[in-house]
Amino acid sequence: MKYFSDLVVATAGEDLVLTYANMALKTQVEKLLLSHQNK
């Protein structure tokens, strides 16, 4: 169980980075879609 908790701590930061990356990507895609719809 100790190993598992260490693993969670190690991956928590990476998950946060992935979450931010996904949010940024989603925002960019939505902007692209909106700009195409407005034309």
Instruction: Give the global pTM.
Output: 0.54
Tens digit of each residue's pLDDT (9 = 90 or more) over 1-39: 677 777 677 677 788 888 899 999 999 999 999 998 876
What is the distance between the alpha carbons of residues 14 and 5, in angstroms, rounded to a whole number? 15
What is the distance between the alpha carbons of residues 15 and 8, in angstroms, rounded to a whole number? 10
Q: Which amino acid is at 32?
A: L
Q: Which amino acid is at 1?
A: M
Structural element, H or E, at residue 2: helix 2-38
What is the distance between the alpha carbons of residues 33 and 24, in angstroms, rounded to a whole number? 14
